[in-house]
Amino acid sequence: MTRVLVAGATGYLGRYAVSAFNARGYNVRALSRPQSVDKLSSPGEYLEPAVRDDIDDLFVGTATDPDTLDGLCDGVDVVFSSLGVTRQQASHQDVDYGANRTILDLASAADVERFVFVSVERPDLWGSLIEPREAFVSELHESALSHTVVRPTGYFSDMTAFFEMARRDRAFLVGDGSARMNPIHGTDLAAACVDAVDDSRREFSIGGPDVFSYDEIAALAFRVLDKPPAVTHLPKWVVDAALTAVGPFSRRSAALGRAFSAILTTDVVAPETGSHSLEQQYATLATRD
């Protein structure tokens, strides 16, 4: 059996990747921090599956601590990494660049055959937040290791923010709400990532099957919750001015706000893939609540 290492296995996409590789007949080794092991045995907050039973070999270590990763890539044929900072207090430099760079070095030393890495579509919109991740992408391209970089437009988990605003009776958007995007479900994206093992492209962009404006995403959330739509559009210049004022006190919050301001006012649409609908995702969230 082909053995794959899934780095970022406890995250949104990582869980779906574990299941997808397992379903395709791969032997799955999953990397998990000690404090996150229990998460693998229960569903995630964005409806992602419990995956402990799909893991053949659980490797417990901390991606930012190379001393805990001895042997991580031994016997591995393929490395898949969606490893990155989400809500952790760790820095993007330490995780998005440093941890992935460590795994790349271990993969190269262990003669791994393929490396599949996930970044973002339109990294120019993300500003300083994405620079460490894209620095790693550049070094991956310069390496001798066969690889593919997958660039999704956005995850269904990201779209939960609009659902939660609707649940609280008002959604806030930057700009006029006309910018479009096609987010992708973890199952559909994970399937594409498994396909990428045999893909000769250095990079490819991918999105979900349905293209929405942000106004339409908000309206969908209200409709599923059976609530009248209530959307406030914030002028981009007002938001950007406020973020400039926030910057000296919280650089990270300001950087995140600037990224959202740019993304919510720019089309981010990629080739349409998959079959999972955002409406069904929202309906399932509403049922769970």
Domain of 129: which CATH number?
Answer: 3.40.50.720
Burial of 158: CB neighbours in 10 Å, binned 0-12, 13-18, 19+: middle
Q: 224 to each of 70, 111, 210, 216, 259, how far by Cα in Å?
A: 48, 49, 17, 12, 28
pTM of the model: 0.95
- Whether residue 237 lies inside any domain: the answer is no
Q: Are 16 and 8 in contact (CB under 8 A)?
A: no
Residue 131 lies in a domain: yes
| pLDDT tens, per residue, the chain with 289 residues | 899 999 999 999 999 999 999 999 999 999 999 999 999 999 998 999 999 999 999 999 999 999 999 999 999 999 999 999 876 567 899 999 999 999 999 999 999 999 999 999 999 999 999 999 999 999 999 999 999 999 999 999 999 999 999 999 999 999 999 999 999 999 999 999 999 999 999 999 999 999 999 999 999 999 999 999 999 999 999 999 999 998 888 888 899 899 999 999 999 999 999 999 999 999 999 998 6
Residue type, 114: R
Neighbour tally for 212: CB within 10 Å? 20
Residue 113 forms part of a structural domain: yes
Residue 18 maps to a domain? yes
Phi first, then psi: give them for residue 191, nearest 5 degrees: -60, -40
Rounded distance, CA 11 to CA 48, Å? 9
Report the amino acid identity of residue 186.
G
Residue 124 lies in a domain: yes
CA distance 268 to 256: 17
CA 277, CA 224: separation in Å to the nearest integer? Answer: 13
Whether 286 is in a domain gets the answer no
Tell me the CA distances in angstroms from 256 to 85, 133, 138, 215, one per residue in order: 12, 15, 22, 21
Asked whether residue 164 is assigned to any structural domain, the reply reads no
Structural domain total, the chain:
1
- Residue 249: partners with Cβ closer than 8 Å, 6 or more residues away: none
Q: Is 107 among the domain residues? A: yes
**Residue-range definition of the domain harbouring residue 76:** 3-153+185-206
Residue type, 213: S
